[in-house]
Amino acid sequence: MLQNIIDELHIYEKKVLKGLESLDYESTPEKIAETQDMNIKSVMSAAGSLESKGLIEVQKDVDEIISLSDTGKEYAEEGLPERKILRVLNEEGSIPMKDIGSKADLDSSEVKVAIGWLRKKKWALIDKGTVKITEEGKEAVSKEYTDEMLLDKLLDANKMLLFNPTQLIKEGFDLLRKRKGIIHVKKEPKYNLKVTEKGKELLDMGIEIREEATQLTHEQLKTGSWKNLKFRGYDVHAEYPDFFPGKMHPLQRTIEDIRQIFLKMGFTESKGSILESAFWNFDCLFQPQDHAAREMQDTFYIKEPRTVNLPSNELVENVRRAHENGGATGSEGWGYSWDVDVAKQSVLRTHTTCLSTRYLAEHEPPIKMFSVGRVFRRETITYKHLPEFHQVEGIVAAEDLTFKNLLGYLKEFYRKLGFKARFRPAYFPYTYLSVESEIYLPDKKTWIELGGSGMFRPEVLEPLGVETPVAAFGIGIERLAMLRLGIKDIRMLYKSDIGWLRDLPVILD
């Protein structure tokens, strides 16, 4: 086992171990670098690797080195600003505040700082705009304060190691550190390397230091010199650093997976604007103009543009008749007077079904169409609701299409996503028959509702001139993403949580 470790050691690791052996198994990186003719970076790199293998211990201490800045040197030579003022005060007893700068040869910024320190050190007091020397100030004229003593020492020594300082140095250091730009404090790490028992056992077995090859060159192969090379061993079980490759955001990944499923099922993708007229968003879907979903509490109405142009007069007239009396469908409609101005209102689309009605108005069956896009509703932000989210919508139109075909499409879609699906009866203003899709969660042993679907009502199709059956479905993508990712708060999908995003697996296409 130990021989395997020896074989896998890099030449720098062997040199560090041999250097420590010659220095009684314990020394500094600097001494090892000197004895083994290595640079300090190579020594430290090898030391880290040896420590991970349990062959040496790396002990670290940090020294604080203090030195004077250029300003500090000036103060050490000429005196601190408050000391300059004290000298003048000692001669004159008091000085008007406005004259301090000129008398002590200080600029306005230094005067402000100096007055503060004069008061802290109790060398002077201010009385009615005049600075007067105190008894403590008179005593301080002939002796140095602790910060001044430290300035003198630093001026003589250039720099000083702050390790177990005397009380005098500590007090002076604490005072100078409160003032900006006088001293520099630099932290310098110190390392000590010590061979472990395991490392000593390894050294006792004998370590041979010779150059090792890590790769073959064309020249070595050509000349045959590779036969005399010693190749370095590699530890295939060694730890490797974490790396975080770029990857698609999990919500976008879910959207792309959904898109690919429908494309492979033969659907055509349609896209449209998030700004829509109430006509396409509500009226074409046989949703009455006094329906609760149209209220400001549920829908975002746009101020500019406030209204949107409507399509052909014929289509608008067909929709009006469907609402008022059912038109040619045999339905009674909603029995109210339909208002074209309400239909012109500009809204942020509340669902992508408006794309489905537009597509039906512009294309002849047979049709298999889906769309993926953002929709907007006036929702309070909670762990399960957002005012902006994504929805996938789709329609299938064909002569022999039945309700059973719709359920088959949905089951296949959920199966491709990895879910088992079932359906229960539901109500929507624009479909009949209508169902809610539910998928099964094995870990929770429960079913969860995920989307609505159904067959478009005649009141939707007849104004559009569509005579074939049309199956429609709509699914919230964020809820699907939450289930796939195992998260309970929808807001997580929009947070910049780099830790969570990094931990998500990379999915390869």
Residue 278 Cα distances to 283, 288, 358, 362, 429, angstroms: 7, 11, 13, 18, 15
Q: Quote the distance between the C-alpha of residue 119 and its chain's center.
A: 49
**CA 434 remoteness from chain centre:** 42
Nearest CA to 354 out of 398, 299, 407, 400 is that of 299
Cβ atoms of residues 151 and 157 within 8 Å: no
Is 392 assigned to a binding site? yes
Residue type, 38: M
* Beta-bridge partner residues of 470: 397
Closest listed residue to residue 490, CA positions, set 500, 499, 498, 480: 480
Is 389 labelled as part of a ligand binding site?
no
CB 372 within 8 A of CB 477: yes
Are the beta carbons of 202 and 55 closer than 8 angstroms? yes
Query: Across-strand partners of 307?
Result: 345
Tell me: is residue 456 an annotated ligand-binding position: yes
Strand order in the sheet with 421-425: 268-269, 367-376, 388-397, 470-476, 446-456, 431-441, 421-425
Packing angle of the helix pair 11-22, 197-205 (nearest 10 deg): 100
Q: Which amino acid makes up residue 333?
A: G
Cα–Cα separations (whole angstroms), residue 302 to 271, 277, 316, 452: 21, 10, 21, 27
Do strands 446-456 and 431-441 pair parallel, antiparallel, or not at all (unpaired)? antiparallel
CB distance 98 to 131 below 8 Å: no
- Residues written for the chain: 509
User: Residue 479 has which token pair?
Assistant: 């809820």
Per the listing, tokens 């932290």 go with: 187
Q: Give yes or no for a contact between 58 and 43, defined as CB atoms under 8 angstroms apart.
A: no
DSSP characters over 289-306: TT-GGGSTTT--B-SSS-
Say if residues 322 and 257 touch (Cβ distance below 8 Å): no
| Pair 388, 415: CB distance under 8 Å | no
Q: Are 470 and 396 contacting, i.e. CB atoms less than 8 angstroms apart?
A: yes
User: Does 430 appear as a known binding residue?
Assistant: yes
Binding positions for L-phenylalanine: 353, 391-393, 430, 456
Binding positions: 353, 391-393, 430, 456
